[in-house]
Amino acid sequence: MTTSEAPKFRRYRSEERAAMLVEAGLACLAEGGITAFTVDNICRKSGASRGLIAHHFGGKDQLLAAVYAAAYAPLLADLAEATELEALLDRLLSPRHFTRDVLNIWLALWGEAATNPVLQAEHRAHYGIFRQSLAAAIARRSPNVNAEAKAITLIALIDGLWLELCMAPDLMSAAQARALVDAVLADP
């Protein structure tokens, strides 16, 4: 074998390799839910060895927490980019969040968070940021309402509408979902 035929090896920086493991974890969840989130599957998808999960994350649960944070990242980016309630709702109800892969990822994460304390802690941190940011946007729009309660209600409504849009897009449209959210906002 000549040197031009030798297999190519690339060394990745630590943060690149960690990001590759997170992306592989997201892909596993999207393809097969929590049962597909195995060390072997993640390593196969990322091209990494088993030991790199422990090296970068400490273990599979901590990698799952990093995957949860990565799944939440687009929502938190929406909150950072759109501080006015109307713009924020437009982003939260945009079609980029209504895909089968996103649905599979969130259903897997929510199901696992019910029993996994590491994932519960990750959820509480991200949900708290989400709830507080939404409450702040509500308070700016309607200073005389209980913004915290309205934020919790809106998150529950958006989560439910999101499930309907992902599971039965022929029964619910983004426009219908937005109209329902607007109706809840109109109530004092």
Choose the most confident range, by mean pLDDT, from 3-12, 55-64, 164-173, 174-183. Answer: 55-64
Q: Give 9 or 86, the one with higher predicted confidence.
A: 86
**What pLDDT does 66 receive?**
97
Examine residue 10 and state whether it is found in any structural domain, yes or no.
no
> Could you list the residue range(s) of the whole structural domain that residue 117 is in?
61-186
**What pLDDT does 83 receive?**
79
Long-range pairs of 180-183 with CB within 8 A, sequence gap ≥ 24? 181/89, 181/93, 181/154, 181/157
Angle at 157 between CA 91 and CA 79, to 5 degrees: 30
DSSP string, 105-170: HHHHHHHHHTT-HHHHHHHHHHHHHHHHHHHHHHHHH-TTS-HHHHHHHHHHHHHHHHHHHHH-TT
What digits encode the pLDDT tens for the residues 154-167? 999 999 988 888 78
What digits encode the pLDDT tens for the residues 22-42? 999 999 999 999 999 999 999
Look up the CATH number of the domain holding residue 139. Answer: 1.10.357.10
Examine residue 143 and state whether it is found in any structural domain, yes or no.
yes
Confidence label for 5 from pLDDT (cuts 50, 70 and 90) = low
Examine residue 32 and state whether it is found in any structural domain, yes or no.
no
CA distance 135 to 157: 14
**What pLDDT does 94 receive?**
84
Count structural domains, the chain.
Answer: 1
Yes or no: say if 73 and 125 are a contact pair by the CB < 8 Å rule.
Answer: no
Examine residue 82 and state whether it is found in any structural domain, yes or no.
yes
Examine residue 22 and state whether it is found in any structural domain, yes or no.
no
**What pLDDT does 188 receive?**
64
What digits encode the pLDDT tens for the residues 33-87? 999 999 999 999 999 989 999 999 999 999 999 999 999 999 888 888 887 899 9
**What pLDDT does 103 receive?**
87
Examine residue 72 and state whether it is found in any structural domain, yes or no.
yes
Examine residue 20 and state whether it is found in any structural domain, yes or no.
no
Torsion of the alpha carbons at 38, 63, 152 and 142, rounded to the nearest 10: -130
CA distance 65 to 120: 9
**What pLDDT does 6 receive?**
52
CA distance 29 to 50: 18
Yes or no: say if 22 and 63 are a contact pair by the CB < 8 Å rule.
Answer: yes
**What pLDDT does 96 receive?**
80
**What pLDDT does 3 receive?**
52
Q: Mean of the per-residue pLDDT values for the chain? A: 89
